[in-house]
Amino acid sequence: MKGKIIKDALILLAITVIAGVGLGAVYNITKEPIAKVEYDTQQNAYRTVFKDAAEFVDIPGFSADDATKIAEESGVIEAGAVTIDGCVQAVGSDGTLLGYVITVTPHNGYSGDITFSLGVQLDGTLNGYSITSISETAGLGMKAQEEAFYSQFENKKVETFTVTKTGSTDDSQIDAISGATITSSAVTDGVNAGLAYYRDLLQTTGGELLNE
């Protein structure tokens, strides 16, 4: 009996080891393709919100924690509502800085996180946003990806946006998606957080291109 128990234990151990090796091999095989898809998705978002840019340059020493703190301390969002995930400089073909592409994740969507990038010109004009990850309700919150909603943010120069359900009356008001006010507010929070970080960044850098 004791020998059988030991034998069974060794068999289980062997199965576990083989399974672990197999999973590790699958991870190594799929890691690079997944990373490439994520990179391409992000680059496409950058180009969508800053069509005039020839390249996108990282900001030296960028810290997501510091950027998020700046947005929170501006008072436009509640603590923990939005994370500033990244920021790159949009550079023209002549090497001049055109503005910034800021990637944000509001955590207060109806179904959770929504990640998108927004392009902001140096003068504060918002080019628009491009969603890279969303899992809202089909036919409702998913309409945040549709032009009827996202076009409301395009080519606007305001400090903060607000959501309304009674019809917008100025550039700073965004008509909520019918039946998806939570999603509408989450996206708007993300945009406002990005704009708050942009204003701090512009003040800190003086609108100069930052290199390593």
Is 58 part of a structural domain of the chain? yes
**pLDDT higher than threshold 60 for residue 27:** no
The answer to whether position 10 is within a domain reads no
Candidate from 28-32, 141-145, 168-172 with smallest mean pLDDT: 28-32
Q: Per-residue pLDDT for 124 more than 80?
A: yes
Backbone angles phi, psi at 104, to 5 degrees: -130, 155
Residue 82 lies in a domain: yes
| 14 in any annotated domain | no
Question: Is residue 142, in this structure, part of any structural domain at all?
Answer: yes
Per the structure, the complete domain to which residue 201 belongs is given by 49-205
Confidence of residue 37 (pLDDT cuts 50, 70, 90): confident
Indicate if the pLDDT at residue 23 is higher than 90.
Answer: no
Q: How far is residue 152 from each of residues 7, 104, 130, measured CA to CA in Å?
A: 68, 18, 13
Q: Which two tokens stand for residue 122?
A: 């140096």
The 3-state secondary structure of 71-108, one letter per residue: HHHCCCCCCCCEEEEEEEEEECCCCCEEEEEEEEEECC
Give yes or no for residue 163 having a pLDDT over 60: yes
Residues 6+ apart with CB under 8 A from 57: 88, 89, 91, 209, 210, 211
Q: How far apart are the first and last CA of the chain?
A: 68
* Domain tally, the chain: 1
